């Protein structure tokens, strides 16, 4: 299992106890916190400081690739999703928990108004339409659920079939 943007490892308690987890993040201090959390939980975790838009793993390395709240901050979310699809096995899953544009027009007007200041302060794109992004890179969405006025998206997808050789 690979978690992209693992941060402090906040998701670790939710993985099956026998999972072998690999985590990548840009921040070494965050990775150190994730390792400490894994140790406290008795979980097997390998971490590496890495730009998730350029993953240094071979194609089809992982059964599951997880991303939580990273599509809003990455400079090129399509490149990130392509990399996630590339390292996921053909029968694997890409799991996303993301926030972005709402399904409610009134909420979107508020998000668009707040977006420029929020981006300057937190490097986070409040109004990015994250729910549409997986399909743009060929990921096949098999389940998608929206919460909190459609702002939060929980998406399960499968990678596109490998290209013929």
Return per-residue pLDDT of the chain as tens, 165 residues.
999 999 999 999 999 989 999 999 999 999 999 999 999 999 999 999 999 999 999 999 999 999 999 998 899 999 999 999 999 999 999 999 998 888 888 887 888 888 778 778 887 777 788 889 999 999 999 999 999 988 889 999 999 877 777
Identify whether 165 is part of a domain: no
Q: Tell me, what's the pLDDT at 15?
A: 94
Identify whether 131 is part of a domain: yes
Which residues touch 16 (CB under 8 Å, ≥6 apart)?
none
Q: Tell me, what's the pLDDT at 152?
A: 86
Which residues touch 31 (CB under 8 Å, ≥6 apart)?
6, 23, 25, 47, 48, 49
Q: Tell me, what's the pLDDT at 106?
A: 87
Q: Tell me, what's the pLDDT at 111?
A: 80
| Greatest CA separation for the chain | 48
Dihedral pair phi/psi, residue 128, rounded to 5°: -65, 135
Q: Closest by alpha carbon to 84, among 106, 104, 64?
A: 64
> To 5 degrees, how large is the angle CA 2–CA 42–CA 25?
30
Identify whether 80 is part of a domain: yes
CATH number for the domain that contains residue 95? 3.40.50.150
Q: Tell me, what's the pLDDT at 121?
A: 87
Looking at the structure of the chain, the number of domains it has is 1
Identify whether 27 is part of a domain: yes
Identify whether 50 is part of a domain: yes
Which residues touch 99 (CB under 8 Å, ≥6 apart)?
69, 72, 126, 130, 151, 152, 153
Identify whether 164 is part of a domain: no
Identify whether 163 is part of a domain: no
Strands 88-99 and 2-4, sheet pairing: unpaired
User: Which structural domain, as residue segments, surrounds residue 133?
Assistant: 2-158
DSSP 133: H
């Amino acid at each position: 299992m690979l978690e992209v943007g693992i941060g402090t490892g906040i998701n670790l308690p939710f993985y099956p106890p026998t999972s072998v987890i690999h985590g990548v993040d840009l921040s070494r201090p965050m990775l150190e916190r994730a390792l400490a959390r894994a140790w406290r939980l008795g979980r097997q975790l390998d971490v590496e400081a890495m730009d998730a838009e350029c993953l240094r793993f071979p194609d089809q390395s992982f059964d599951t690739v997880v991303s939580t709240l990273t599509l809003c901050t990455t400079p090129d979310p399509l490149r990130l999703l392509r990399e996630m699809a590339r390292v996921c096995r053909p029968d694997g899953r890409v799991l996303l928990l993301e926030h972005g544009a709402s399904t409610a027009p009134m909420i979107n007007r508020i998000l668009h108004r707040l977006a420029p200041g929020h981006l300057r302060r937190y490097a986070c794109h409040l109004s990015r339409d994250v729910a549409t992004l997986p399909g743009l890179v060929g990921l096949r969405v098999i389940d998608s659920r929206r919460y909190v006025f459609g702002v939060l998206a929980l998406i399960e997808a499968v990678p596109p079939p490998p290209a013929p050789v």
